[in-house]
Structure 1
Amino acid sequence: MTEEMEVISPSPRGTKRKGDESLRLPAPRRIKALAQDVVNKIAAGEIIVAPVHALKELIENAVDAGSTALEVVIKDGGLKLLQITDNGHGINKEDLPILCERFTTSKLKAFEDLTSIGTYGFRGEALASISHIAHLSVTTRTKESSCAWRANFADGKLASPKPGQNAEPKPIAGRPGTQITVEDLFYNVPSRRRAFRSASEEYTKILDLVGRYAVHCSGVSFSCKKHGASTTDVSVPVAAGTVDRIRQIHGSSVANELVALKAENDRWGFKCDGWISNANYSGKRTALLLFINHRSVESQAIKKSMEQTYAAFLPKGGHPFVYLSLDIEPQRVDVNVHPTKREVHFLNEDEIIAIICDEIRNSLSKVDTSRSFMTQSLLSNRPMVPLATPIKQITPGTPDSIDTTDRSVSKSAPKPTAKTRNDGNLVRTDASARKITSMLQSHPSADGAPTETENMDYEYTEKEASVCRLTSIKDLRAEVRDAMHNELTDIISTHTFVGIVDEQKRIAAIQGGVKLFLVDYGMLCNEYFYQVGLTDFANYGSIRFNPPLSLHDLLKIAAEREKKNAGDAADEVDWDEVVSSVSDQLINRRVLLLEYFSLEITEEGDLCSIPLLVKSYTPSLAKLPRFLLRLGPYVDWDSEKACFQSFLRELASFYVPESLPLPPAVDDSGKGKGKVVEEDAEIAKRREKVRRAVEYVIFPACKARLVATRGLLKGVVEVANLKGLYRVFERC
């Protein structure tokens, strides 16, 4: 039986199925040119990504204008307000109408100029982009102009400041230079504005950017603060060197461990200058300040190479600080590869990085053996004390014959060998060592401790310390912390007292490291006692008078002194009324004075006690009448914060040691007989008390707890540097 099978032949290969002819294809879309407003906003979004990018463009323009001082003011991280003021050459009034048009620049004339660009800005897009996404105003004045001109811009063109007003620039009073104010950044790009998480994060980025340019731009002062703040977050003077600028921005822990770096190569056409941290410094993350042809840029290749180089010198997890300034021949650099100019490309990148890393390796090898480690030694009959034990101590330039390869800590310690002492690095660290004052006068006691010369008995009470929850005091404490100067605080906290130089001008000498400083101890004491008043607020001791003193009599004594000092103007004041007014004022506020300041005044007008700020030191009671008199007109009794601040300032001024006349010198009027003029016994006694208090009470107290503020810089002068002096003597 046979079955018939139906065989279906395959369809020929390469054929296509027919489409559904019932479906109609959509008509092709026409290509249209975008509106110019959309084009400008797209370009602005590429160049100005965040407030920090807008500020970067403005800083670079200001430096290009020959400025020597830049002031930056920020509000809400730069989104609400971003203002930069410089003292450069300004902008001509005739150029203001096209200032914010795209591709208007004074840096380029032809495309070929890009191969030799030597300025920060060059494309003329920064101000144009900002004007499309923010409210922009420019105030500028050139040296030749008799007044400044202010112009407002919107969408790249001049705009009127208010509806109905003329858009032309208006003459106003102003100083030479340019001030650019950017308000409401991204006001018309809500999606971009909502993308920013917090204003503080953006402000941190701005501080980092300002700090970078403040380190690099020598000869230019920088300041940056929040709008409305009384203190600056970044403040770098114009005369500061590179290391001092790094110290101001990144702290003394970095600046004290820096090593200079220099490298150059004619074949690859580059020069390199910078400062790098040595092996004693180790940070949580790599801090790379990279400038190529003076433009702040980023380079992952350079950063990765730096970290690999330092890996042989730092402990695991440690990272370096590197400030690097590369000067590369302009024709080898392409600066126009990124909209924000954050990155640049240059020829022979690998070769240049290799040379720099080799130089870093050589520099670190020279100073690596000076590293110090903390060990503990158990001494007989003594408690365990930490000893700073340098493994090896050499200075750069020591012959390479010294073995630096053995870093093992498990090997036995080498036998002590005689080493040549480098007197130029000697630092006095023991305050009990012989000082210059020992050659001039005897110590008050054999052990160097002050002798108690004042007839005072101390009585201790069981009163518990109260916790201050007043917002005004917390704000005043925060202001002190914000005004802290790190370097000066380090000097005072580690200083060695040398001696009093001038008791009339209140100048003392201290040693910090290998440097000698003259300090206005009147200014130093004023700040110290003010800070004691803040930290111990409402917890002072008291100096009690037995019997109590008459407040009215004290005020009357002060009024007579003021009347005598006022001269002819004294007759214009009714001093009896002043005494009566201040007396009534203090008596009426006696409860507040006793609760917060331990200043006890009875209802009858008797002064029973005054605040005790520091034990073993009593202020000059001759200043008490004037202190009480000044509490009337010089204390703001109407505002809580101002009241506390002004009262504590007056109290600190009262506690400052008084200015004493210079000690008597030899009288040469007797034709060579050289008789010594005898000093008044009371003044001599007070001079001895002041000397002991300054050396043994006040300066040790400042060393322990003073927060040195920037205002104290006016009262500290460096007069000698031991290393510098040795270099001078070596030439002689």
Structure 2
Amino acid sequence: MEGEMDVDTPEQRGTKRPVEENDVSGPPKPKRIKALDPDVVNKIAAGEIIVAPMHALKELIENAVDAGSTSIEVLVKDGGLKLLQITDNGHGIDVGWPGHDMLDRDDLPILCERFTTSKLKEFEDLSSIGTYGFRGEALASISHIAHLTVTTKTAGSSCAWRAHYGDGKLVPAKPGQPAAPKATAGRGGTQITVEDLFYNVPTRRRAFRSASEEYAKILDVVGRYAVHCAGVAFSCRKHGDSGVSVSTPSAASTIDRIRQIHGSAVANELVEFKVSDDKLGFRASGLATNANYHVKKTTILLFINHRAVESTAIKRAVEQTYSAYLPKGGHPFLYLDLEIEPNRVDVNVHPTKREVNFLNEDEIIEMVCDEIRSKLAQVDSSRTFLTQSLLPGVQTIETLQPSSKDDAADGKAAATPKTPAPTKRPYENNLVRTDSKIRKITSMLTPAPIPSPSGQGTSTEPGILPPPIQDDGLQYEITDRQPLRIALTSVKNLRSAVRATMHNTLTEMFASHTYVGLVDERRRLVAIQSGVKLYLVDYGLACNEFFYQVGLTDFGNFGVIKLDPPPKLVDLLQIAVDAEKEEQADGNNPEAASILANAAELISRTLVERREMLDEYFSMKVSEDGELLTLPLLLKGYVPSLAKLPRFLLRLGPYVDWTGEEECFRTFLRELAAFYTPEQLPVLPSPPSRDLSANPITEVGQERAQTSAEGAMEGNEDPMIQARRAQMMRMLEYAVFPAIRSRLVATSRMLKGVVEVADLKGLYRVFERC
């Protein structure tokens, strides 16, 4: 029998080949050449193009992007072998079949036939192809090895149409039913469902190891296109899971997409590069990690003319480029978008389009690597460390306060208490400072004269912080007033708006930070530590957002600051008006000056008319005579600058929307937050004998040195500014940032106010290469 195994003799292997019955005794004849059955041809072609579920998904994603989609959703079951569904919002597929009134647009019936495409007409069109697909074999191949369902709706169609395919042809959904597409409900775009992939190729199906491994490959494909396709939102999830494995919004930037897919460790260390050459006809751009980042395996997201491809030559050249910057065994991350003139690229060299050939390959790769090398050299050259034996004005560890009376008597320094060493000592680059009293950044700066607690003379002892500043003129009292439960829809909407813009990583950083010290009072910078990283934070921006959120959470339940004696609103407003007039006069704006003429009276009358609402919601009491009795207290232990009070009152007129409830609350709380935001202070002056400009440790240190010299030439600093500076240092450290740590919901707008300046692990890597 044909194909029967021969088991008569154990030494024989394989199967017997059939021979003609009438040709047993004669010599063997050559076998006849026959045409393969079309079904066999189609299955062979399908096996070359669709090797795994990830290849089917890649083809479907490219079709969706070609269709102008801005949102692509992927649903996977059992690694794509049981179910692979992709939904887009593109322009859809035209519907037509015999008997329908759209015979001239019969795209759906021939959708899954081989070599049917809307992107290519002649072979010469390959020289200028600008789309992902062009052969028309993807859907045809899938239909020969899986059950394929297409649901589509165009903008001009009144409903969606669903069609089922098998072996490239329309098939009925169930036996006995017609094969023609059926009208159904659906949204604009196309949904393609691939079920039971390789159901008729059992050998290929059994070759897959596990569903989780195939799902990981699918996530890699989705992640690559999610990074590259700007303006397209991607999501991917397992069937039955409520959460998504990949989710990128359409408005996200490339760096944000990389952060979402590959993590912040990669996104925080990226450098941008661009290179082009008209002679070679290419333009390259991308993002590459600097020398602070390295992993055990190179990751390259390579797109040539927007196709996700692989290139061994590019990978080898990139690894050679990074070998001079990374430690042994370290590999980089690279995203490269390479655009080459279409007539220089051959896209039809691989069945799955995984590889392409292009002219001047060596020259283009060399230019790209040279540009990456120059960017890495710029970053690496900035790692210059200037050292000296002792910074000016810094005391040694022996000058710290003694921990006991006996040590003080003996003149010994107090040693920092040490905890018992664990059985396994951690690496030093993983140590995290958790005690803010160990060292302050202010101890590394030049000391300034600080008013003594008694107010007589000044304390100039370096490195010693002043005692706690008392809140002059403020007395805290506890009242028996019961907190109000606020159920206003407008307040709930404002709170929801804050939560909607929450930045998870930034919120976690603030929630786990350790306050290091005040860096620059003029630019309002403080240093905080989170984990093993050091950050510079714009505390003006952070405080503005924090006090706005305090206003929302404590709405209607503020404390009060009593003003005794209470000032007149008109008097305070007139101060602000006069200041504004001077500014407008300098700018020669007579129209603005005329508007300000009656501003004090108008705004005062507005606040008096709304005094009941101001008292009930904001704890801001105004008498009938126009006296300001109280102000809202947002944070105990923090005193806003009362010098900003006139301008705050003045802005309540034109910058608060008194007509709508939600907008009124939002704008008023924004102005209140601006009033509570710490003011900018002049840079701390220092004695003229100190010349810090000879020690260019940081840019901040240089500006402090320059401004300090100017301040010293003009004379001593104003005592009121001295007191406010000392008060600000205490309030930021002991009131504001502890409250920020426990209450702040960091929003995306705060990203521009946070800069990472040091990473302990990164510094260790630098010194390892030295």
Q: For residue 209 of structure 1, what is the amino acid of its counterpart?
A: V
Shift of the 355–689 alpha-carbon distance from structure 1 to 2, 3 Å rule, reads closer
CA distance in 1, matches of 2:428, 2:441: 13
Structure 1 gaps, min length 5: 1-20, 389-427, 434-442, 456-482, 499-508, 528-619, 621-659, 704-711, 725-732
Give yes or no for the alignment of 1:716 onto 2:718.
Answer: no
- Offset at residue 208 of structure 1 (A): 1.0
Contact 2:310–2:354 (CA under 8 A) maintained in structure 1: yes
CA distance in 1, matches of 2:58, 2:30: 44
- Offset at residue 27 of structure 1 (A): 2.6
The aligned counterpart of 1:187 is 199
CA distance in 2, matches of 1:723, 1:269: 40
The aligned counterpart of 2:274 is 262
CA distance in 2, matches of 1:362, 1:247: 24
CA distance in 2, matches of 1:334, 1:698: 61
Q: For residue 629 of structure 2, what is the amino acid of its counterpart?
A: V
Contact 1:207–1:234 (CA under 8 A) maintained in structure 2: yes
Give yes or no for the alignment of 1:677 onto 2:629.
Answer: yes
Contact 1:87–1:178 (CA under 8 A) maintained in structure 2: yes
CA distance in 1, matches of 2:441, 2:113: 63
Deviations 1:82-121 (A, max 9, x none): 1111110000012110000000000000011111111001
Contact 2:622–2:630 (CA under 8 A) maintained in structure 1: no
The aligned counterpart of 2:28 is 26
The aligned counterpart of 2:179 is 167
Specify which of 334, 343, 347 is matched with residue 331 of structure 1.
343
- Offset at residue 689 of structure 1 (A): 10
Contact 1:493–1:702 (CA under 8 A) maintained in structure 2: no
Deviations 1:258-296 (A, max 9, x none): 111101111211100101111111122111000000000
Q: For residue 64 of structure 2, what is the amino acid of its counterpart?
A: A
The aligned counterpart of 2:687 is none
Shift of the 282–133 alpha-carbon distance from structure 1 to 2, 3 Å rule, reads same
Give yes or no for the alignment of 1:36 onto 2:44.
Answer: no
The aligned counterpart of 1:123 is 135
Shift of the 723–717 alpha-carbon distance from structure 1 to 2, 3 Å rule, reads closer
Shift of the 286–122 alpha-carbon distance from structure 1 to 2, 3 Å rule, reads same
Q: For residue 721 of structure 1, what is the amino acid of its counterpart?
A: K
Structure 2 gaps, min length 5: 1-22, 97-106, 390-395, 399-412, 419-426, 430-439, 446-464, 480-501, 518-525, 529-534, 554-558, 560-614, 640-730, 756-770
Contact 2:274–2:286 (CA under 8 A) maintained in structure 1: yes
Q: Secondary structure of 2:276's match?
A: strand
The aligned counterpart of 1:48 is 50
Q: For residue 446 of structure 1, what is the amino acid of its counterpart?
A: P
Q: Secondary structure of 1:105's match?
A: coil
Q: For residue 73 of structure 1, what is the amino acid of its counterpart?
A: L
Contact 1:497–1:699 (CA under 8 A) maintained in structure 2: no
CA distance in 1, matches of 2:735, 2:153: 52
Shift of the 129–490 alpha-carbon distance from structure 1 to 2, 3 Å rule, reads farther
Q: For residue 142 of structure 2, what is the amino acid of its counterpart?
A: I
Specify which of 298, 305, 317 is matched with residue 329 of structure 2.
317
Contact 1:259–1:275 (CA under 8 A) maintained in structure 2: yes
- Offset at residue 493 of structure 1 (A): 3.9
Contact 1:514–1:721 (CA under 8 A) maintained in structure 2: no
The aligned counterpart of 1:84 is 86
CA distance in 1, matches of 2:516, 2:384: 26
The aligned counterpart of 1:212 is 224
The aligned counterpart of 1:355 is 367
| 1:61-80 → structure 2 map (5 Å cutoff) | 61-80=63-82
Give yes or no for the alignment of 1:111 onto 2:149.
Answer: no
Q: Secondary structure of 1:325's match?
A: strand
CA distance in 1, matches of 2:266, 2:44: 42
- Offset at residue 716 of structure 1 (A): 2.3
Q: Secondary structure of 1:228's match?
A: coil
Contact 2:303–2:337 (CA under 8 A) maintained in structure 1: yes
Contact 2:510–2:740 (CA under 8 A) maintained in structure 1: no
Contact 1:159–1:167 (CA under 8 A) maintained in structure 2: yes
CA distance in 2, matches of 1:327, 1:720: 32
Contact 2:72–2:232 (CA under 8 A) maintained in structure 1: yes
Q: Secondary structure of 2:288's match?
A: strand
The aligned counterpart of 2:468 is 446
The aligned counterpart of 2:741 is 700
Q: For residue 622 of structure 2, what is the amino acid of its counterpart?
A: D
| Two-structure CA RMSD over aligned residues (Å) | 4.5
- Offset at residue 58 of structure 1 (A): 0.3
- Offset at residue 446 of structure 1 (A): 2.4
| 1:644-683 → structure 2 map (5 Å cutoff) | 662-665=617-620, 667=622, 670=625, 675-678=627-630
Give yes or no for the alignment of 1:136 onto 2:148.
Answer: yes
| 1:634-649 → structure 2 map (5 Å cutoff) | none
Deviations 1:515-548 (A, max 9, x none): 6457689999x99xxxxxxxxxxxxxxxxxxxxx
The aligned counterpart of 2:256 is 244
Shift of the 132–123 alpha-carbon distance from structure 1 to 2, 3 Å rule, reads same
| 1:474-623 → structure 2 map (5 Å cutoff) | 485-486=504-505, 489-490=508-509, 492-494=511-513, 513-514=536-537, 516=541
The aligned counterpart of 1:276 is 288
Contact 1:225–1:231 (CA under 8 A) maintained in structure 2: yes
The aligned counterpart of 1:148 is 160
- Offset at residue 664 of structure 1 (A): 3.5
Deviations 1:707-726 (A, max 9, x none): xxxxx8xx7241573599xx
Contact 1:289–1:324 (CA under 8 A) maintained in structure 2: yes
- Offset at residue 333 of structure 1 (A): 0.4
Contact 2:623–2:629 (CA under 8 A) maintained in structure 1: no
- Offset at residue 230 of structure 1 (A): 1.2
Contact 1:287–1:320 (CA under 8 A) maintained in structure 2: yes
Q: Percent identity over the alignment?
A: 59
Q: Secondary structure of 1:214's match?
A: helix
Contact 2:345–2:359 (CA under 8 A) maintained in structure 1: yes
Aligned residues: 471
Q: For residue 667 of structure 1, what is the amino acid of its counterpart?
A: V
| 1:10-21 → structure 2 map (5 Å cutoff) | none
CA distance in 2, matches of 1:454, 1:489: 33
CA distance in 2, matches of 1:429, 1:149: 68
CA distance in 1, matches of 2:274, 2:207: 42
CA distance in 1, matches of 2:263, 2:179: 47
TM-score (norm 1): 0.57
Shift of the 510–22 alpha-carbon distance from structure 1 to 2, 3 Å rule, reads closer
Contact 1:247–1:487 (CA under 8 A) maintained in structure 2: no
Deviations 1:267-326 (A, max 9, x none): 211100101111111122111000000000000100000000010111111111110000
Shift of the 488–337 alpha-carbon distance from structure 1 to 2, 3 Å rule, reads farther
Contact 1:219–1:238 (CA under 8 A) maintained in structure 2: yes
Deviating more after overlay: 291-300 vs 22-31: 22-31
Contact 1:252–1:487 (CA under 8 A) maintained in structure 2: no
CA distance in 2, matches of 1:689, 1:446: 11
The aligned counterpart of 1:610 is none
Contact 2:536–2:754 (CA under 8 A) maintained in structure 1: no
Shift of the 454–286 alpha-carbon distance from structure 1 to 2, 3 Å rule, reads farther
- Offset at residue 687 of structure 1 (A): 6.9
Q: For residue 28 of structure 2, what is the amino acid of its counterpart?
A: P
Q: For residue 42 of structure 1, what is the amino acid of its counterpart?
A: I
Q: Secondary structure of 2:149's match?
A: strand
- Offset at residue 252 of structure 1 (A): 1.1
The aligned counterpart of 1:102 is 114
- Offset at residue 227 of structure 1 (A): 1.0
Contact 1:272–1:324 (CA under 8 A) maintained in structure 2: yes
Q: Secondary structure of 2:187's match?
A: coil
Contact 1:71–1:85 (CA under 8 A) maintained in structure 2: yes
- Offset at residue 28 of structure 1 (A): 2.2
The aligned counterpart of 1:8 is none
Shift of the 166–488 alpha-carbon distance from structure 1 to 2, 3 Å rule, reads farther
TM-score (norm 2): 0.54
